[in-house]
């Protein structure tokens, strides 16, 4: 290994994994394994290519330094520039250090060239191999990711079709066995280990010309072919096809497949590097032998022509008399009765039938096996356990299966509970239920064996039962997109997000977001429309909405996140605005829900189904047009949501008996015509935006329509971009929030700390918003000014009494002056009122009596006069009983102003 490269690698693995050189040995040890976290990671000191977990049986994790430090292995021209004297220096370094090849073996087989892409305006050195038919294949070696998906290329206009690439050291006229692999590097890897390998250049290329030339050149002496293409579904189909075609040409064919573990693609070059890592000699030879034998076994399984042949391959490998197997997406049970089988073989050997006498050994075994009924079909489809998924909060768990059918139908994926895989009857029922026509006819014992193999060391996937940010995992998890540490993840084929060391999915399907992760499609034309139609208020609303995407992190640092109230008469545009804000998050045709409708459980579900997304409550405060009482939402229910605690006891039952109180993970937005009428604690928690029709013009009407028509694909990048900027946004909020809070508290108008804090958070979010959308300076200034005046107005609103209280005192003044009085207090400093007296008097004077229940609720908040207590027995100053003694009256008591 080059000294400079080795030096860099040693430095990194020492600091990242804690690997230490154990002099005088050639090993570094004591590193922390990233998979099992045990301090068993080791590597070689002279060539730290790979880091290997010493717990070979239990973990056996292998880390390729090339994969984790790809920056060190990328810029080869910079690291090793070619010179006049060494024109292939760069290519050699690449082949030697990135591929592990021995230059003394392959030295003359390639040239170093350069490639330049005008499309990407970038160039790279290449390693080029000439092809037999003319033309060449070359690998780009300097930061190939700059060229999009292209890492290698053929000479334009030339075709390699029909002809393989044969390493000069391989003599196809002499070889007993020729391995046919996909790429040139695969072939190079194998020839290092004395395997005669040629490259077909692609899995979909059948080297017909080369094979026919062999047929012509070696009549009656054809080599055996081993088809060793990549182990992936596309290549599987080709392998079977090429084997058939080569057999027709007269070749004996086998196949080899490298088993793929942990979803990691391992090719022959990777295996070669693993082998090189072992000391030369017996240890390495044994490993090479073992890996090649295993690959040939897997190849034999792949090209088996029927279930019986496959069973035979497995029987020879496992040496067990009973096992299950899959063939053609059906499950079979193999059980060999040796006595019966031997008898069948004997009969075939002794047979007088011409047909039987023609059978070769393999065919005879097959036939005997069929005759003794060793193979029994146990399922008409192929269930495969993908992983175990659990919800730690509810203590529920499932096994997630993919079921593939023998016919053309698309595979389905679904869950099995533990009891559904514990007995054949339950398994059969569930399978029929989820997989149309999927029939399991095996016994429970057969099922046990199948499940045992399927679930051995099965991966676990965490689940959440809401959509959005999960603080337990520090990840944003939506339906098919997830974001963590600024990186976007797509749902994989097995329906979960594979995020480095976290596997996770959401079980919730109630909030569907259409997120476009292609940020080149994200355009911000809407920003200016919001500005023109809604002005600074629109920006403040946007900043709050944006803040909802970080509500959990904000609450984690600052304990609370406010509620936003957007009010305005019909037509002022609040629904348009809210619906558009939703569209920025990929949710379409949705505004919110009415908390007075539906059951408490349904309401609780609405609060619990999102994380770091708004929960919008709409139109609960209704006009009482016909004088009837409408149901009022009890805003106090929300109080705890301010700090992220559960919105009341929700009574969601899990399988056990305990009641679960899911924390509130979202942000509350209230949209209605009139301001929220609620207790002071709720009013303090609100940031309030009042929208009006002022400023609406025919032109803004057109713009609003444009906003409504804007396709979600062009704007939902907002959520993606915002969540990707998490660390920057939070840095701004953490730093700026407290600064703004001090500024607000310094204003003479602001006296309530909570009001200062809420609005300071909004200020900070406006600053953070700049990381995501291009706000202009005058817009930012206008938004800040708006927030300052919102804070002042909020303080005024808190200072004032609730309208129903104001109304009460006005009526009280009137009634108290005209009649004998309502005040029973003998103390001038106090006012004592009996509310029934009050109602009676009011009715007599033909005054509208306020709703007493409603009144009682708010009267306790009365500031002027200040509320003292309720239900006090007061000796009346003027009312007397039959005996002319002062009456004792139950009164509400206030401090006279
Ligand atoms: Zn390990």
How far does residue 32's CA lie from ligand 1's centre (Å)?
8
Q: How far apart are CA 769 and CA 732, in angstroms?
A: 10
CA of 40 to the centre of ligand 1 (A): 7
Centre of ligand 1 to C-alpha 493, Å, is 26
Per DSSP (E only), the strands in 624-723 are: 652-653, 659-660, 665-672, 686-691
Q: Are strands 375-379 and 830-833 parallel, antiparallel or unpaired?
A: unpaired
Give phi and psi for 382, each to the nearest 5.
-125, 95
Distance 56 CA to ligand 1 centre (A): 8
Cβ neighbors of 851 (< 8 A, separation 6 or more) are 629
Q: How do strand 665-672 and strand 610-618 relate by DSSP bridges? A: parallel
Q: Write out the residues surrounding ion ligand 1, Cβ under 5 A.
A: 33, 35-36, 53, 59, 61
Can you give the C-alpha Rg of the chain in angstroms?
38
Strands 467-470 and 475-477: antiparallel
The closest alpha carbon to 461, from 406, 512, 398, 417, belongs to 398
CA of 528 to the centre of ligand 1 (A): 53
Give pLDDT, residue 659.
55
Give distance in angstroms: CA of 261 to centre of ligand 1. Answer: 14
Distance 258 CA to ligand 1 centre (A): 22
511-546 pLDDT tens trace: 999 999 999 999 999 999 999 999 999 999 999 999
Cβ–Cβ under 8 Å, residues 304 and 362: no
Taking the C-alpha atoms of residue 88 and residue 94, their distance in angstroms, rounded to an integer, is: 10
User: Measuring CA to CA, which residue among 389, 589, 613 is closest to residue 494?
Assistant: 389
Spatial separation of the C-alpha atoms in residues 734 and 553, rounded to whole Å: 10
Strand 610-618 to 467-470 pairing: parallel
Instruction: Please tell me what DSSP assigns to residue 822.
Output: S
**Residue-wise pLDDT tens digits, 838-861:** 988 888 888 888 888 888 888 888
Query: What is the layout of strands, in order, in the sheet containing 396-405?
Result: 412-416, 396-405, 381-391, 460-464, 502-506, 497-499
- Centre of ligand 1 to C-alpha 49, Å, is 17
CA 274 to ligand 1 centroid distance, Å: 17
Ligand 1 centroid distance, CA of 36 (Å): 4
CA of residue 457 to ligand 1 center, whole Å: 14
**Ligand 1 center to residue 449 CA distance, Å?**
28
Q: Could you tell me which of 162, 227, 241, 173 has the C-alpha nearest to residue 197?
A: 227
C-alpha distances out from residue 639 to 318, 528, 553, 672, Å:
65, 35, 19, 19
Measured in Å, residue 675 CA sits from the centre of ligand 1 at 59
Q: Please give the distance, rounded to the nearest whole angstrom, from the Cα atom of residue 433 to the centre of ligand 1.
A: 40
Closest C-alpha to 494, from 381, 387, 383: 387
- If you measure from the C-alpha of residue 50 to the centroid of ligand 1, how many angstroms do you get, rounded to a whole number? 13
Distance 13 CA to ligand 1 centre (A): 15
Q: What is the dihedral of CA 82, 83, 85, 91, to 10 degrees?
A: 0
How far does residue 272's CA lie from ligand 1's centre (Å)?
Answer: 22
What is the DSSP annotation of 139-190? EE-B-GGGGTT-SEEEPTT---TT--B--TT--TTT-SEEEEESSHHHHHHH
Distance 491 CA to ligand 1 centre (A): 26
CA of 876 to the centre of ligand 1 (A): 83
Please list the rounded mean pLDDT of every run of 10 residues in the chain (897 residues). Answer: 81 92 91 90 89 86 85 86 92 92 93 92 94 93 87 91 95 96 97 96 95 95 96 93 96 95 85 89 93 97 92 89 92 89 87 82 83 88 94 86 91 94 95 93 94 89 94 94 95 90 90 93 93 95 98 95 93 92 95 86 88 90 51 83 78 49 92 84 92 90 93 96 96 96 92 93 97 95 97 87 84 77 87 90 85 85 84 88 88 86
Beta strands 563-568; 665-672: pairing state: parallel
Write 71-78 long-range contacts (CB < 8 A, 24+): 72/5, 72/8, 72/9, 72/12, 73/5, 73/97, 73/98, 74/142, 74/143, 74/144, 75/142, 75/143, 76/125, 76/141, 76/142, 77/124, 77/125, 77/141, 77/142, 78/142
The residue extents of the domains of the chain are 3-68, 90-159, 160-303, 321-353+360-377, 380-458, 462-506, 519-799, 803-895
For residue 21, the CA-to-ligand 1 centroid distance in Å is 19
| Cα 180 to Cα 165: distance, rounded to the nearest angstrom | 10
pLDDT at 657: 45
Q: How far is the CA of 30 from the centre of ligand 1 (A)?
A: 11
Give the pLDDT confidence score for residue 435 in this predicted structure: 92
Q: How far is the CA of 504 from the centre of ligand 1 (A)?
A: 21
Strand partners, 832: 893
The CA-CA-CA angle for residues 106, 112, 116, to 5°, reads 145
Ligand 1 centroid, distance to 292 Cα (angstroms):
25
Q: Are 467 and 610 in contact (CB under 8 A)?
A: yes
Distance 486 CA to ligand 1 centre (A): 27
- Kindly give the distance from the C-alpha atom of residue 31 to the centroid of ligand 1, in angstroms, as a whole number: 10
In CATH, the architecture of 160-303 is 3-Layer(aba) Sandwich (3.40)
**What is the distance in A from the centroid of ligand 1 to the CA of 43?**
13
How many angstroms separate the CA atoms of 713 and 545, rounded? 19
Distance from the alpha carbon of residue 279 to the mean position of ligand 1, in angstroms: 22
State the distance from the centre of ligand 1 to the C-alpha of 57, rounded, in angstroms: 9
- Ligand 1 centre and the CA of 61: distance in Å? 5
Measure 643 CA to ligand 1 centroid, in angstroms. 40
DSSP state of 535: H
Q: Could you tell me the distance, in angstroms and rounded to a whole number, from the CA of residue 667 to the centre of ligand 1?
A: 41
C-beta neighbour count of 354 within 10 angstroms: 7
C-alpha 41 to ligand 1 mean position (Å):
7
34 Cα–ligand 1 center, Å: 7
CA of 51 to the centre of ligand 1 (A): 10
Which residues lie closer than 8 Å to 569 by C-beta, 6 or more apart?
A: 673, 692, 693
Tell me how far apart the alpha carbons of residues 869 and 872 are, in angstroms, rounded to a whole number.
7
How much distance in Å is there from the Cα of 289 to the middle of ligand 1? 25
For residue 293, report the distance from its CA to the centre of ligand 1, in Å.
26
| Cα–Cα distance for residue pair 45/9, rounded to 1 Å | 10
CA distance 489 to 495: 12
In angstroms, the CA 302 to CA 375 distance is: 18
CA of 482 to the centre of ligand 1 (A): 27
Residue 459 Cα to ligand 1 midpoint, Å, equals 15
Q: Ligand 1 centre from 58 Cα, in Å?
A: 7
Q: Compute the distance from residue 62 Cα to the ligand 1 centre, in Å.
A: 8
Question: 93 burial class (0-12, 13-18, 19+ CB within 10 angstroms)?
Answer: buried
Distance 821 CA to ligand 1 centre (A): 85
> Cα(39) to centroid of ligand 1, in Å?
8
Q: How far is the CA of 233 from the centre of ligand 1 (A)?
A: 29
């Amino acid at each position: 290994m080059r000294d400079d490269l080795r030096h860099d690698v040693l430095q990194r693995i020492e600091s990242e994994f804690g690997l230490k050189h154990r002099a005088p040995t050639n090993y570094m040890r004591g590193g922390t394994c990233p998979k099992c976290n045990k301090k068993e990671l080791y590597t070689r000191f002279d060539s730290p290519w790979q880091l290997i977990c010493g717990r070979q049986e239990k973990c056996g994790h292998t880390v390729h330094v090339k994969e984790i430090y790809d920056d060190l292995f990328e810029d080869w021209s910079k690291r090793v520039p070619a010179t006049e004297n060494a024109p292939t220096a760069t290519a050699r370094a690449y082949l030697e250090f990135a591929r592990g090849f021995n230059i003394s073996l392959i030295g003359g087989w390639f040239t170093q060239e350069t490639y330049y892409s005008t499309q990407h305006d970038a160039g790279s050195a290449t390693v080029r191999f000439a092809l037999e038919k003319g033309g060449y294949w070359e690998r780009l070696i300097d930061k190939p990711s700059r060229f999009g998906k292209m890492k290698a290329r053929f000479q334009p206009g030339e075709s390699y079709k029909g002809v393989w690439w044969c390493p000069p050291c391989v003599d196809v006229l002499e070889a007993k066995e020729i391995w046919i692999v996909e790429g040139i590097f695969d072939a190079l890897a194998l020839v290092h280990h004395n395997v005669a390998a040629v490259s077909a250049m692609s899995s979909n290329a059948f080297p017909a010309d080369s094979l026919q030339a062999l047929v012509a050149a070696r009549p009656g002496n054809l080599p055996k072919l081993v088809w060793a293409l990549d182990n992936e579904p596309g290549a599987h189909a080709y392998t079977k096809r090429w084997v058939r075609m080569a057999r027709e040409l007269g070749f004996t064919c086998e196949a080899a497949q490298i088993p793929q573990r942990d979803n990691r693609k391992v090719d022959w070059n990777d295996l070669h590097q693993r082998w090189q890592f072992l000391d030369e000699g017996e240890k390495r030879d044994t490993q090479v032998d073992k890996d090649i034998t295993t690959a040939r076994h897997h190849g034999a399984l792949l090209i088996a022509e029927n279930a019986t042949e496959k069973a035979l391959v497995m029987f020879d490998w496992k040496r067990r008399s009973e096992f299950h197997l899959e063939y053609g997406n059906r499950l079979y049970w193999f059980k060999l009765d040796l006595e019966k089988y031997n008898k069948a073989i004997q009969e075939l050997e002794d047979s007088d039938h011409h047909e039987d006498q023609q059978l070769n050994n393999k065919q005879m075994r097959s036939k005997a096996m069929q005759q003794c009924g060793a193979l029994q079909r146990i399922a008409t489809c192929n269930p495969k356990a993908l992983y175990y998924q659990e919800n730690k909060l509810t203590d529920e768990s499932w096994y997630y299966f993919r079921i593939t059918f023998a016919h053309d139908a698309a595979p389905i994926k679904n869950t099995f509970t533990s009891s559904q895989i514990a007995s054949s009857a339950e398994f059969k029922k569930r399978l029929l239920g989820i997989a149309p026509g999927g029939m399991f006819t095996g016994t429970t014992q057969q099922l046990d064996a199948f499940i045992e193999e399927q679930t051995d060391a099965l991966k676990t996937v965490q689940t959440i039962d809401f959509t959005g940010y999960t603080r337990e995992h520090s990840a944003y998890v939506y339906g098919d997109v997830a974001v963590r540490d600024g990186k976007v993840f797509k749902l994989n084929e097995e329906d979960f997000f594979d995020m480095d060391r976290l596997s996770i999915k959401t079980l919730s399907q109630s909030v569907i977001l259409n997120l476009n992760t292609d940020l080149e499609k994200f355009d911000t034309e809407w920003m200016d429309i919001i500005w023109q139609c809604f002005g600074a208020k629109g920006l403040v609303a946007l900043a709050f909405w944006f803040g909802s995407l970080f509500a959990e992190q904000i609450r984690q640092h600052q304990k609370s996140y406010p509620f936003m109230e957007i009010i305005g008469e019909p037509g002022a545009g609040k629904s348009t605005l809210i619906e558009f804000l939703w569209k920025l998050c990929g949710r379409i045709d949705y505004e919110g829900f009415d908390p007075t409708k539906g059951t408490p459980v349904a309401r609780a579900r609405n609060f619990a189904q999102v994380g770091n997304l708004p929960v919008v409550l709409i139109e609960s405060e209704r006009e009482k047009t016909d004088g009837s009482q409408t149901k009022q939402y009890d805003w106090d229910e929300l109080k705890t949501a301010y700090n992220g605690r559960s919105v009341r006891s929700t009574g969601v039952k899990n399988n056990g008996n305990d009641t679960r109180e899911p924390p509130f993970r979202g942000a509350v937005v209230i949209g209605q015509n009139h301001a929220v009428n609620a207790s002071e604690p709720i009013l303090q928690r609100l940031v309030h935006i009042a929208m009006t029709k002022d400023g609406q013009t025919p032109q803004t009407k057109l713009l609003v329509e444009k906003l409504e028509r804007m396709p979600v694909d062009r704007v939902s990048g907002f959520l993606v971009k915002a969540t990707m900027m998490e660390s920057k946004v939070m840095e701004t909020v953490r730093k700026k929030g407290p600064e703004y809070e001090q500024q607000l508290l310094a204003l003479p108008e602001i006296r309530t700390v909570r009001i200062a804090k809420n609005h300071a958070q909004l200020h900070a979010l406006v600053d953070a918003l700049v990381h995501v959308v291009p706000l202009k300076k005058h817009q930012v200034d206008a938004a800040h000014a708006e927030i300052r005046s919102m804070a002042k107005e909020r303080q005024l609103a808190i200072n004032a009494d609730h309208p129903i209280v104001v109304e009460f005192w006005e009526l009280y003044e009137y009634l108290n002056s005209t009649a004998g009085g309502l005040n029973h207090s003998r103390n001038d400093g106090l006012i004592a009122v009996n509310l029934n007296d009050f109602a009676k008097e009011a009715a007599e004077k033909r005054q509208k009596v306020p709703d007493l229940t409603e009144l009682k609720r708010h009267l306790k908040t009365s500031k002027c006069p200040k509320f003292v207590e309720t239900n006090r027995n007061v000796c009346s100053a003027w009312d007397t009983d039959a005996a002319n003694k002062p009456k004792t009256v139950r009164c509400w008591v206030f401090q006279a102003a």
